Amino acid sequence: MSRKRLVSWNHFVVTRARAVATSALDLPASLVRDPRTASWLLGRLPFVQRGYEFARRWSGPERPTEPTAPIPGPDNPLRSFFDARSKGRGITKWRHYFDAYHRHFSKFVGRDVRVLEVGIYSGGSLEMWRSYFGPGCRIVGVDIQEGCKVYENESTQVFIGDQADRAFWKRLKSEVPPVDIVIDDGGHAAEQQIVTLEEMLPHLKPGGVYVCEDTHGEFDRFLSYAQGLIGSLNAFEPGAEELAFLAAGKGIASRPTSFQREIEAVHCYPYLTVIEKRERPLDRLECPKHGTEWQPFTA
């Protein structure tokens, strides 16, 4: 193992240990701050554990595994770019990310798109995004290393700062218009990822896509945070109008929360979380009844 990789691994281990210690301190603070919500969340723990244990016991039917080497199939320009990179500016990505990228990003190809990437490192991914999206792509790179300023050019801005610093994001947003895509490949600590999301998700354009990379481990704290987002995405809050809809026999309805109005979906892949923003705000969540013949017990 090289010295650089050893230092990186040691940093990862230390960061995880600190996260465990911080979590132990966060629980009492949460109980004090909002005891009702904290108590409700504690009541969910047996179900979280049950799901975790089910996944750990999972043993599906024997099937051929997917090889990690390139295989014939639908072309993925991002994977092709990555596989062809034998020299030049470095890129390191989990191979399975490319399918998720292409699934969520392809609608922006060939358009005027503004992409913000946190953690630009050796600059190779900046070239990959530019190649994928086309000449209309404008890139905003964020890194804590001053040396990354070297990657600036006519289509790429580079901001140097700490992604856990809300004042930094305030300055950036004052200079950068709302963006179409955010890719967080920065420091990988949960607090950095959470601050970045809270500051930049509202700065995402309608129809935009937010990606947080490298959430390794079942008990990653950012993933726990994302579970809170998923819970909010499933809120059910019928008001007077929705109750009247139900009383009239038209079906079930719920008023969308502010979060539901703007956020369409939260997707979880191995080590990758993707959030999609709606093109247009959601007016109402409806489950209407169609037809004339109903069983008595479901009428």
Is the confidence at residue 41, as pLDDT, over 90? no
The predicted model gives 100-113 an average pLDDT of: 97
What is the phi-psi region of residue 152: left when phi exceeds 0, alpha when psi lies from -120 to 50, beta otherwise?
A: beta
Residues near 84 by Cβ (< 8 Å), separated by ≥ 6? none
Distance CA 97, CA 81 (A): 13
Q: Is the pLDDT of residue 2 over 50?
A: no
Work out the pLDDT band at 214, boundaries 50, 70, 90.
very high
The answer to whether residues 214 and 188 touch, using CB atoms and an 8 Å cutoff, is: yes
pLDDT over 80 (residue 103):
yes
pLDDT at residue 110 is higher than 80: yes
69 or 287: which leads in pLDDT: 287
**Choice among 58-62, 114-118, 235-239 with the minimum mean pLDDT:** 58-62
**Residue 170 predicted with pLDDT over 90:** yes
**pLDDT given at position 247:** 83
Is the backbone of residue 249 left (phi > 0), alpha (psi -120 to 50) or beta? left
Q: What is the pTM of this model?
A: 0.84
Dump pLDDT digits (tens) for 6-33: 444 455 555 555 555 555 557 677 666 7
* Local confidence band at 260 (pLDDT 50, 70, 90 cut-offs): very high
Q: Is the dihedral of CA 57, 58, 64, 65 positive or negative?
A: negative
Which residue type is seen at 156?
A: T
Residues of the chain with pLDDT > 70, as a percent, come to 85
How confident is the model at residue 211, as a pLDDT? 98
226-259 per-position pLDDT tens digit = 999 999 999 998 888 888 888 888 889 999 999 9
Residue 112, Ramachandran bin (φ over 0: left; ψ between -120 and 50: alpha; else beta): beta
Positive or negative: CA dihedral 144, 148, 151, 154: positive
